[in-house]
Amino acid sequence: MMLALTSDIKTPLHAIRPSIKLAAMSIAVGIVFALSSVPHLAIAVAITALIYLSMGLKFAREGLRMLRPLRSFLVLVLVIQTLIGDPMSGVIVCLRLSAAVAIANLVTLTTRLEAMIDLVMRLAAPLRFVGLSPRALALAMAMVLRFVPVFLSRANTMQDAFRARSIRRPTFYIVMPLIISVLEDADQIALALRARGGLDGGYEP
Amino acid sequence: MQTKENTLVMVALFAALVAVLGLIPAIPMPWGVPITAQSLGVMLAGAVLGGRKGGLALVLFVFLVALGLPLLAGGRGGLGVFASPTVGFVLGFPVAAFVTGAVMSRSGMNPVLASGIASFIGGIVVLYVMGIAGFYLMTDKSLVASITIMATYIPGDVVKVVLTAIIVGALAKARPQSLLSRA
Amino acid sequence: MTVPLIDVTDVHFRYGERDVLNGITLIGSERRIGVVGRNGSGKSTLARVMAGLVAPNRGEVRIAGCQVLQDRKTAISTVGILFQNPDHQIIFPTVGEEIGFGLRQLGQSKSEAQTQTRAMLASFGREAWLDRPVSALSQGQRHLVCLMAVLAMQPKVIILDEPFAGLDIPTIRTLEGYLSRLDQTLVHITHYPTKLEGFERVIWIDGGVILRDGRPQEVLPVFLSAMERDDAGADL
């Protein structure tokens, strides 16, 4: 299976039920968004950092890495806010978003994908009554996980085939062949699914 | 023959396609802001599958991102994405695909022109409205000035609209039966 | 009178403008049936019609008495099909899920399916594969996963649509060894006549009709000499 963002470092949080983690996370993020003073937000960031650190330095470093995409954005916000003469609101936004994203990531880092999928299936069960089948959802999720690596390796093969005959960068040139191959696969896979009972079989997630 | 299984597989495979396009390295552009292929996938899902199926494909994609898979361009994923300033763009993916598909299906124009217009409306107008709304909610009113930085991405998105039109046009010739938006 | 295991009667199949199958009739209960023919002769379409996956424009297919097109519930425990490319067949990210899926489709509980999946893996000496990601397996290993997933459902008839193309010789030999030991009836579709030695019956299809139908020693030499004639004309 493709790699989920779950951390390999075992922490006490791994043992907690995902539903509880999710609920606690929602409340915590809600609180962080309600705070609006720099000292309060600084405390929130400090508490979050302490939670990460209490799981060990390696885990905290992993958490920091997950925040990296946010970094350049926050720097930009600070610069622009300083330029327009309101640095304080820039600081508030930076603190708030760092804390909120870090808290949300904590759930992702400490919950296995299978446990998340189980939770989703239980939450999706009532959708049966509005005509959406959790079985179709489970099958679709499995297929995405299965076909991302398949298409990725095909995309790489196509890039190589392109490079072998051209000095240009292949990036967008492979999109068309990739789409065609996806469409061709789709017919075959739908048949393979039908060959084993399709959507009318007894499979339950 | 469009069976239930066919529909399910198309939806799942386009979700996978969007993920794979996100993993293709971004290409640097002369104007400085690199473009990624991911939102091209959003436009294509809508233009090829039509509104409902295209939207569902992207719902599935966003769902898997939330569950903790690093499927967003740059390997991002997990619940943190939904507390980030870019959340509007991520949640905007399904809406953008839906609108692209709905416009595509309802327009009687030739597929090239129709998909170009549809992906412009869905993949740029709708996506940016949602993206900016998300940004506004997650940060502060005072930061609206920062929104101007997003304008730098628009030229790249126009490139993707053109690409979508070219690809859909080619598809309409090579595999018309797969253009479900026009089925 | 017993019902024939395979009962294909006057099957016609049109794809767009092209008549792919033009009245194929194939009735029999032989344990090993081979189907040979050139590219585009209609072999693969016949396989899909026989598995009940696509509807013929005319004619009827019954496998062990089951109308495989209409009665899908019975069909999935009656006929299994192995495609050429395992990447078109494997739906789940891990081996255990892939094999367990068919069992769940047959109505087994999660734990029953789990037990039987383990048993299937064990019978091939592959217990360690239960949680292995399919993407980490080699091409030959994926073929084996497909075979195990089909066998787990215990179909009476297994259709092989040109399997094992592009594998190395020892891998093909091993996979064919597994196949030859199966009790199930096999319908093996292939370009290669040598694969069909020891079969009870061979059918040669060309242009959507049966050209020859008989024992391998009757059909295969004629097929081979036709294929090797200078004027056979390549499919290029």
- Which domain CATH number covers B77? 1.10.1760.20
Give the pair of three-digit tokens for residue A16. 């907690």
Do B37 and B57 meet the contact criterion of CB atoms below 8 Å apart?
no
Residues of the domain holding C148:
91-154
User: What ipTM was estimated for this complex?
Assistant: 0.90
Q: Are residues C50 and C96 in the same domain?
A: no
Does any CB of chain A come closer than 8 Å to the CB of residue B142? yes
Do B11 and A147 meet the contact criterion of CB atoms below 8 Å apart?
no
Cβ distance B17 to A90 less than 8 Å, yes or no, reads: no
Q: What is the pLDDT of residues A64-89, one digit of tens each?
A: 998 988 887 788 888 888 888 888 88
Taking the mean position of all CA atoms in its chain, how far away is CA A53? 22
How many structural domains is chain B composed of? 1
Taking 60 as the threshold, does the pLDDT of residue A60 lie above it? yes
Please list the ranges in chain C whose pLDDT falls under 50: none
> Confidence band (pLDDT; 50, 70, 90) for A1?
very low
Tell me if residue A194 falls in helix, strand or coil: helix
Q: What residues of chain B lie within 8 A of the CB of A189, using their CB?
A: 9, 13
Instruction: Determine the Cα–Cα distance for residues C55 and C236; give it in Å rounded to an integer.
Output: 29
Give the pair of three-digit tokens for residue B165. 């039109």
Q: What is the pLDDT of residues C187-227, one digit of tens each?
A: 999 988 888 988 999 999 999 999 999 999 999 999 999 88
From A146, B72, B158, B117, select the one nearest C133 (Cα to Cα): A146
Give the pair of three-digit tokens for residue A161. 């085939």
How many structural domains is chain A composed of? 2
Q: At which residue do the structure tokens 């966003």 appear?
A: B62
Q: Are strands C157-161 and C201-206 parallel, antiparallel or unpaired?
A: unpaired
Q: Are residues A99 and A52 in the same domain?
A: yes
Residue A146 lies in a domain: yes
**Average pLDDT of the residues of chain B:** 89
Q: Which residues pair with C133 in a beta bridge?
A: C94
Do A77 and A67 meet the contact criterion of CB atoms below 8 Å apart?
no
Residue B108 lies in a domain: yes
Q: Are residues C142 and C164 in the same domain?
A: no
Q: Are residues A107 and A40 in the same domain?
A: yes
Residue B97 lies in a domain: yes
User: How distant is the Cα of C116 from the closest Cα of chain A, in angstroms?
Assistant: 15
DSSP per-residue letters across A10-79: --GGGGS-HHHHHHHHHHHHHHHHH--SHHHHHHHHHHHHHHHHHT-HHHHHHHHHHTHHHHHHHHHHHH
Instruction: Determine the Cα–Cα distance for residues A189 and B22; give it in Å rounded to an integer.
Output: 23
Cβ distance A201 to C106 less than 8 Å, yes or no, reads: yes
Instruction: Determine the Cα–Cα distance for residues A199 and B1; give it in Å rounded to an integer.
Output: 16
Q: At which residue do the structure tokens 């719902």 appear?
A: B59
Domain boundary among A85, A111, A137: A111
Q: Are residues A90 and A16 in the same domain?
A: yes
Q: What residues of chain A lie within 8 A of the CB of B16, using their CB?
A: 143-144, 147-148, 150-151, 182
Residue B183 lies in a domain: no
Residue C83 lies in a domain: no
Alpha-carbon torsion angle A102, A107, A111, A114, nearest 10: -110
Residue A200 lies in a domain: no
Residue C86 lies in a domain: no
**Average pLDDT of the residues of chain A:** 87
pTM above 0.80, yes or no: yes
Q: Are residues A20 and A74 in the same domain?
A: yes
Q: Are residues C19 and C136 in the same domain?
A: no
Q: How many CB atoms lie within 10 A of CB A26?
A: 14
Distances (CA, A) of A187 to A193, B165, C83: 10, 24, 13
How many structural domains is chain C composed of? 2
Q: Are residues A17 and A97 in the same domain?
A: yes
Q: Choose among B13, B78, B149: nearest Cβ to A108.
A: B78
